[in-house]
A = this chain, B = another copy of it.
Amino acid sequence: MEETKIYLSEKDIPKQWYNLAADLPTPLQPPLGPDGKPISPNMLEAVFPANLIEQEVSTKRWIDIPKEVIEILYRWRPSPLRRARYLEQYLKTPARIYYKDESLSPPGSHKPNTAVPQAWYNKQFGIKKLTTETGAGQWGSALAFATNLMGLECKVFMVRISFDQKPLRKIMMKLWGATCVASPSSETKAGRDILAKTPDTPGSLGIAIAEAVEEAVLDKSGKTRYSLGSVLNHVLLHQTIIGLEAKKQLAKVGEKKVDVIIGCAGGGSNFAGLSFPFVCDKIHGKKIEIYPVEPTGCPTMTRGPFTYDFGDVACQTPLLAMHTLGHGFVPAPIHAGGLRYHGMAPLVSQAIVEGLLTPRAYNQIKCYESAVLWARTEGSVCAPETSHAIACVIEEALKAKKEGKKKVILFNYSGHGIMDLGGYDKYLSGQLQDYSMSEQELKESLESIKNLPKAPVKKTGKW
């Protein structure tokens, strides 16, 4: 019988990241400043170190992974490629389902794949401290993990409601030496202003980003920068190690062709990490269906327009051409905290416009139903975000059964849900709400972008 777990030797870990910007048929539209004019890379230098800005704007196809970064990644990489044999048997599908297990990193998700190189490049640039925001805590703990290994300081602004409700994530950051404060805090002007107006606010990612950026930019030593866990080009770049490993592992078990690629998408980084090396194959002629999956409670790709929008609620970031629900979007309290972002990575968004990707949306009840089936067949407890990918996988596996096709399905198991079991409890008790976005809610949410510059929907269709 074939192995359930397909490992790669450490010496076969990819030595370069893949940059989709080199192959995307239509180049990305430029980020715009507050004046509506394209910004230049050096305008970002107060926020990010120059070596990461260079990656952000690069159109080189392959970018070397520093040896020192690889040495750190060995703690959990190459991650196993696994065959979901037990789910296949339950579904009686002829499809072969494979998944990259990104839940095995110490913080429990794919996030450290970029936290580690980001911390490393900052250190190379002479930076001593990183600031960031975190919602549910996955990104904050990944950056704490990485900065600890690199000997950098780390300060995480954690959205107040998560800070109070998720004490475990907070302790994890502390364990790795980071300082974690509830946002809004009294430590920044942005925080103090909000607290003065609404002392009881539960906080938001928008506020936390504002605080983290302010603390980085205002540090007079010039040795502090800000770090982001998704959306940006260099973040997606770092995640492509996932898909590059998967290719080698599939080859190892003799799989010559992948038919379907699936990943959940919030800011887009875990999805891009797995899929971009295959998107490259698709651009060069291979027939692959590629599905980024989102919640119907935050339907950025399936219902949001492709246009210019801010990355944050406070309108501090450059304008990016992307799918968006509008930066004024107030997310419903769905459990998949990592999928509650109003925008989508520009690279993923442009690939959707090009027709390379086919977004799908599922409501969280169906997702938890899928996650419970997963836990009761494969055994493991997936993150609420990952359950969206699994819902799509099950649908595709049943479709293959109906069609009698021996398809190969590959998806990204982006993280475990051991610290997020609350949503499972609600589902199992029949208390979980759907929270799909209504037409009215969408209309109201898009109000926030009506006066912003429009991004032209450009596509070549040539691939």
Contacts and interface: CB of A to CB of B under 8 A. Distances in A.
Contact of A381 (B3, B172, B375): B172
A94 B4 CA distance: 36
Contacts of A176: 375-376
Contacts of A167: 421, 425
B168 A376 contact: no
Contact of A418 (B74, B148, B174, B418): B418
B145 A106 contact: no
A255 interface: no
Contacts of A376: 148-149, 175-177
B375 A175 contact: yes
A378 interface: yes
Contacts of A1: 10
Contact of A421 (B10, B104, B108, B171): B171
A60 interface: no
A372 interface: yes
B177 A424 contact: no
Interface of A: 1, 3-5, 7, 9-11, 74-76, 86, 104-106, 108, 145, 148-149, 167-168, 171-172, 174-177, 372, 375-376, 378-381, 418-419, 421-422, 424-425, 428
A414 to B, nearest CB: 16
Nearest to A76: B379
A319 to B, nearest CB: 38
A66 to B, nearest CB: 16
Nearest to A148: B376
Q: Name, among A145, A167, A171, the residue most crowded by chain B CB atoms within 10 Å (CB to CB).
A: A171
Contact of A379 (B106, B171, B378): B106
B175 A421 contact: yes
A206 B145 CA distance: 40
Contacts of A425: 167, 171, 174
A85 to B, nearest CB: 8
23 contacts: A1-B10, A4-B10, A4-B74, A5-B7, A7-B7, A76-B379, A105-B379, A106-B375, A106-B379, A108-B418, A145-B379, A149-B376, A168-B418, A171-B421, A171-B424, A171-B425, A171-B428, A172-B381, A172-B421, A174-B428, A175-B421, A176-B375, A176-B376
